[in-house]
Amino acid sequence: MNQTMQHKDALLIEIGTEEIPAGLAPKLGEALRDAVATLLSDARVDVGHIRLGVTPRRLLLHAVNCPLMQDDHEQTIWGPPERVAYVNAEPSKAAHGFARKSGLPLTSFSLADKGDGKGRYMCATTTQTGQSVVDILAASMANIIRNLPCGKQMRWQDGTIRNDGFIRPIRWIVARLGDAVIPFSYAGVTAGFISRGHRILGEPSCELDPHHPFEQLKLQYVVADRDARRHWIAEQLELAAVRENIRLIDDPALLDEVTDLTEWPQVVVGHYDPSFLRLPQEVSRVELKNHQRCFVTQCDDGVASSVFLAVANIQSTQPDLVANGNERVVNARLADAAFYFDRDPKHSLEQRVEMLNHVVFQDGLGMLSDQVRRLRGFVMDNATRFGIDGAVAQRAAYLCKSDLTTGLVAEFPELQGYMGGIYADMNDEPIPVAIAIAEHYKPIQAEDALPISGIARCIGVAERMDKLLGYFHLQRIPTASADPFGLRRACIGMIRLLADEAQPLNITLHTLIAESRKQWNEQRVTIAINKQVNHAVASFVRDRMLAMAASLGVSRAAISAVLAANVQRPIHQQVALAKILDDFSTSDTGQAIAAANKRVANILRKQNIAASATAIVDSGLFHLPEEHLLFQHLQQAEDGFLASNSKEQLHTLAGLHGVIDQFFTAVMVMDDAAAVRANRLALLARLRYLFLQLGDLSHLSV
């Protein structure tokens, strides 16, 4: 029986560590919470809400009302059916055997209906007494910690407990349910009641109140609640901005990072040397963000301000020291950047293009200057197709890598492209050229916006395909775990560019590969990018399309159906078609037509007959009106099918499902007469071909 009245108390688990890398702590915290929640719910312990605390030095779980005991558990054991269990109303050998195996006396068993309509079975009800929750947790905690997703695990403890690792050394563990310790140890650390405060400001050891750990940690200069800490930083940043009369440049990723670097965040206002305001804003931003984890600001009119905001992990006794220290480092960093920014323009962009003759693109694939020539050739050849200005595009492609030889980009590679645009502008290149150069690497991250410039898009697609072909030629093909050359990311970026319907790039994957390959082949006789590479690249791109279906707003099944089409389409059309198929496949007609298509496909597959547009159908060999009817409708459908758009095509196919159904109801395809049979199969091959122009609808779920 369930115990209706149960004692509950606060559950507190804290894993105290040395500083966990920013970005990993929240993931580890959530994984820990999920694992403990799953453990308890599997054990039928209703722990209620588990509050999570995450800082660089601790993962904290807190539940206010955790049961002390697991519920008793009633279980019904089912044995053999009555006719086996009883012979002449006496328990059979089988019944004795089953009872023995269950560890219950035969008298505990009765007969009951299982509800499967097959009569009564031998059965017994047992009650398992609930275990203490402390025991349940104690038995599993070490394994839970061991299985947290650390990525790179490290070993730190001396001696023999070498199996226990973590992302950084664990230095203390608090684990208690009310006043009872949850006894376990991991990596030589034994769980107890004692926690630690902030490394500098807090006490080196303190017992945590299991009822109010978050509040108590605050007194130890630790804001354990990550959201609260993040919010606190945002508030302090805002306050500092108001006080300094400047505008903060929002940066959620940076805010996340500083949240995960601090337990007691304190925003510090610094000023860098105003002479560095001559640097492009992006240069200072990247520099301060990536190297110093500082926020940059603007004046109200959008002009850069020399005020920056650092987030320290201490309430300093001398805050000026912290500000001055940060200013020193920031000034030294910006001085570096300014040195290059002032020196770079001493070479013209033309000279810099020359220098690319000496920069290796990739060992085995020639120089960057070779790549530039290929990109230029590509945009020249395809300008009309893409509806871009060929002269401008060519110029942009010619200059797009020139910034790679600048000191600033050598020092801060993340500024590539952006600096190219700035330097092009300073060189009085036309604005569209500068914009295309600046934008052509976009999108870099999955969530990045696409370029506005159509030329940038065109260069971006050309460069990514160029890269894929080159690296596949070298057999540097990404594996499931390793993609050292970023080919997967390049491919995803390329697909996003090609899938965008707002600025459609009308090129099929097939043509794109051919066009890119042409540039390689024209240029380097030594690199014959063979058919196999073509094939491998094409299937790599298709695999990526399948993998990123959700982010393209379509189902994987629909993409898979569309990719099986026997007509080449630009990727943006494929995605649009997949969307149509997704809408369509849930409708009744959609289901019906997919089913009809599947039937046709199955018959042809069994007979090993391929879809064909040219299969000859002889109506003289028809026996039944349903054959005539289907043929007639098929011919009508074929007429002008290619010229109509996908929606119309789908509509046409949908219109066929009635006659297809009638055909299959009335006609036995596999007629004994060979000629009749072949004629019917030819009819179906034609029909199948028509379907395949849209895609293989049999991939859609029916």
Partner 1 sequence: MLSFQDLILTLQNYWAKQGCVIQQPYDSSMGAGTFHPATFLRVLDEKSWNTAYVQPCRRPTDGRYGENPNRLQHYYQFQVILKPAPADILDLYSASLNEIGIDTRAHDIRFVEDDWESPSLGAWGLGWEVWLNGMEITQFTYFQQVGGVELSRTPGEITYGLERLAMYLQGVDNIYDLLWVKQPDGSSVTYGDVFYANEVEWSTYNFEHADVDWLQQQFDAAERECLRLVKHALSRPAYEEIMKASHAFNLLDARGAISVAERQRFIGRIRSLTRVVAQAYVGTEQ
Chain residues that interact with partner 1, rule: CB under 8 A: 18-19, 21-22, 56, 152, 154-158, 162, 167-169, 171, 199-201, 204, 261-262, 268, 292-294, 310, 312-314, 316-318, 321-322, 324-326, 328-330, 332, 360, 363
Query: Residue 486 CB, nearest distance to partner 1 (Å)?
Result: 17
Query: Residue 401 CB, nearest distance to partner 1 (Å)?
Result: 17
Residue number with CB closer to partner 1 (316 or 662): 316
Please state, in angstroms and rounded to a whole number, the distance separating the CA atoms of residues 167 and 185. Answer: 17
Please state, in angstroms and rounded to a whole number, the distance separating the CA atoms of residues 310 and 288. Answer: 9
Residue number with CB closer to partner 1 (87 or 154): 154
Please state, in angstroms and rounded to a whole number, the distance separating the CA atoms of residues 173 and 223. Answer: 18
The alpha helices in 586-638, defined as continuous H runs, are 588-606, 625-638
Please state, in angstroms and rounded to a whole number, the distance separating the CA atoms of residues 9 and 176. Answer: 10
Residue number with CB closer to partner 1 (268 or 541): 268
Strand partners, 62: 12, 51
Q: For strand 185-186 and strand 58-67, is the pairing parallel, antiparallel, or unpaired?
A: unpaired
Residue number with CB closer to partner 1 (200 or 550): 200
Query: Residue 28 CB, nearest distance to partner 1 (Å)?
Result: 13
Residue number with CB closer to partner 1 (310 or 683): 310
Residue number with CB closer to partner 1 (363 or 672): 363
Length of the chain: 702
Query: Residue 317 CB, nearest distance to partner 1 (Å)?
Result: 5
As given in the structure block, the two tokens for residue 249 are 């440049």
Query: Residue 383 CB, nearest distance to partner 1 (Å)?
Result: 34
CA gyration radius, the chain: 35
What does the CA dihedral 676, 678, 684, 686 come to, rounded to 10 degrees? -120
SS3 451: coil
Compute the C-alpha angle 609/614/620, nearest 5°: 90
Query: Residue 13 CB, nearest distance to partner 1 (Å)?
Result: 20
| Contact assessment for residue 437 and residue 424, using Cβ atoms and an 8 Å cutoff | yes
Query: Residue 567 CB, nearest distance to partner 1 (Å)?
Result: 44
Query: Residue 322 CB, nearest distance to partner 1 (Å)?
Result: 5
Residue number with CB closer to partner 1 (18 or 381): 18
Query: Residue 170 CB, nearest distance to partner 1 (Å)?
Result: 10
Residue number with CB closer to partner 1 (460 or 470): 470
3-state secondary structure 635-694: HHHHCCCCCCCHHHHHHHHHHHHHHHHHHHHHCCCCCCCHHHHHHHHHHHHHHHHHHHCC
Please state, in angstroms and rounded to a whole number, the distance separating the CA atoms of residues 25 and 59. Answer: 8
Residue number with CB closer to partner 1 (268 or 611): 268
Query: Residue 336 CB, nearest distance to partner 1 (Å)?
Result: 9
Query: Residue 351 CB, nearest distance to partner 1 (Å)?
Result: 20
Query: Residue 474 CB, nearest distance to partner 1 (Å)?
Result: 13
| Contact assessment for residue 552 and residue 582, using Cβ atoms and an 8 Å cutoff | no
Query: Residue 151 CB, nearest distance to partner 1 (Å)?
Result: 10
Residue number with CB closer to partner 1 (364 or 387): 364
The alpha helices in 10-75, defined as continuous H runs, are 24-42
Give residue for tokens 């009951």.
112
Query: Residue 270 CB, nearest distance to partner 1 (Å)?
Result: 9
| Contact assessment for residue 554 and residue 617, using Cβ atoms and an 8 Å cutoff | no
Query: Residue 57 CB, nearest distance to partner 1 (Å)?
Result: 9
Residue number with CB closer to partner 1 (87 or 200): 200
Helices and strands of the chain, counted as H and E runs = 26, 18
Residue number with CB closer to partner 1 (331 or 427): 331
As given in the structure block, the two tokens for residue 663 are 């055909």
Residue number with CB closer to partner 1 (262 or 516): 262
Distance, C-alpha 429 to centroid of its chain: 38
Residue number with CB closer to partner 1 (159 or 302): 159
To the nearest 10 degrees (0 to 180), the angle between helices 625-638 and 646-666 is 170
Closest CA to 559 of 545, 569, 538, 570: 545
Residue number with CB closer to partner 1 (20 or 533): 20
* Cα torsion angle, 100, 101, 102, 103, sign: positive
Q: For strand 58-67 and strand 8-17, is the pairing parallel, antiparallel, or unpaired?
A: antiparallel
Element (H, E) at 239: helix 226-244
- CB count within 10 Å of CB 663 equals 26
Cα end-to-end distance, the chain, whole Å: 46
Q: For strand 247-248 and strand 206-207, is the pairing parallel, antiparallel, or unpaired?
A: unpaired
Please state, in angstroms and rounded to a whole number, the distance separating the CA atoms of residues 536 and 534. Answer: 6
Please state, in angstroms and rounded to a whole number, the distance separating the CA atoms of residues 318 and 56. Answer: 24
Please state, in angstroms and rounded to a whole number, the distance separating the CA atoms of residues 299 and 111. Answer: 84
Residue number with CB closer to partner 1 (293 or 489): 293
The contacts of residue 175 (CB under 8 Å, 6+ apart) are: 12, 13, 14, 137, 141, 181, 182, 184, 191, 192
The contacts of residue 82 (CB under 8 Å, 6+ apart) are: 111, 119, 120, 121, 122
Residue number with CB closer to partner 1 (165 or 493): 165
Query: Residue 162 CB, nearest distance to partner 1 (Å)?
Result: 7
Query: Residue 182 CB, nearest distance to partner 1 (Å)?
Result: 21
Give residue for tokens 């509509």.
651
Closest CA to 405 of 343, 455, 480, 363: 343
As given in the structure block, the two tokens for residue 105 are 């006396």
Query: Residue 7 CB, nearest distance to partner 1 (Å)?
Result: 36
Residue number with CB closer to partner 1 (159 or 620): 159
